[in-house]
Amino acid sequence: MSLNKTPFFELRSGSVDTLLFVVKTPDLDALRTELTRRFEATPEFFANDVVAIDVRRLAGSGNGGEGERISLAELETLLKSVRMRPVGVVALPAQTWAVQWANAGGLPILEARDRRGAPKPSVDEAKPNTEAAAVIEAAVAKEPPPAAPQPATIIDRPLRSGQQVYAKGDLIVLGLVSYGAEVIAEGNIHVYAPLRGRALAGVHGNLDARIFCTCLEPELISIAGIYRTTENPLPADVASKPVQIWLDEEKLMIEPLRLT
């Protein structure tokens, strides 16, 4: 029998979607505080997502030096505690400490081709005021083939506190999303009523996802892991107004909707 043919298994080239957990601070306590707060607010947000730990944005990296260091073993344990599943490390060649840890039996070193190009320093003004500077970004090592579009999920009733709705595609809500309720979608979210709970669009890394609502009064809004909470008050021109929300690089943009 040919070595290339067997009824028992196949080896094929392919690609697997994952998320990059981009680390911007070596402060594990700050990361723990922010991740714990985020996990407690929306326990299903991470939902056992597979992630690669990206240390390329630590200060001093990319300039020919190793830059700041973080304990990858402790970070791996921390991510598992909030239901993320680390599968590898993305590092610059100069970050030999990350390579050495991987070679010592930790996670493999992976190569990532970011959708938005090489990592660069940035400040997300939409994030809450916190010491933690970690951000979850969508990334794939290779672009997967386009998936079949998912039909929109329509909810024609109000959502009370404690209720959660998840949609594989777009999510359309025709009633009030109360404080303590949560709407999550892999695509866009449309709320034709006050949005007072939490809305998380593009949760599997869809950077083009948007949130639309007729009255913005949220506890939390998020697109592809970039989020904003009520700790950062909304501007007067969008608070309690019809709006659309989208991503510009790593910043949440909120714009009034002109309905007339």
Model pLDDT for residues 72-127, shown as the tens digit of each residue: 889 989 998 888 888 889 888 888 888 888 777 777 888 766 544 444 433 333 34
Q: What is the pTM of this model?
A: 0.54
CB atoms within 10 A of CB 3: 5
* Distance in angstroms (rounded) separating the CA atoms of residues 137 and 224: 7
- Relative to beta strand 211-216, strand 243-248 is antiparallel
Look over the chain and give the mean of its residue pLDDT values, rounded to a whole number: 79
- Angle between helix 96-103 and 72-81 (nearest 10): 70
What pLDDT, in 10s, does the model give residues 80-94?
888 888 888 988 888
Query: Residue type for 100, please?
Result: Q
Residue ranges of domains in the chain, CATH in brackets:
17-140 (3.30.70.260), 153-253 (2.160.20.70)
pLDDT at 256: 94
Percent of the chain with pLDDT over 90: 34
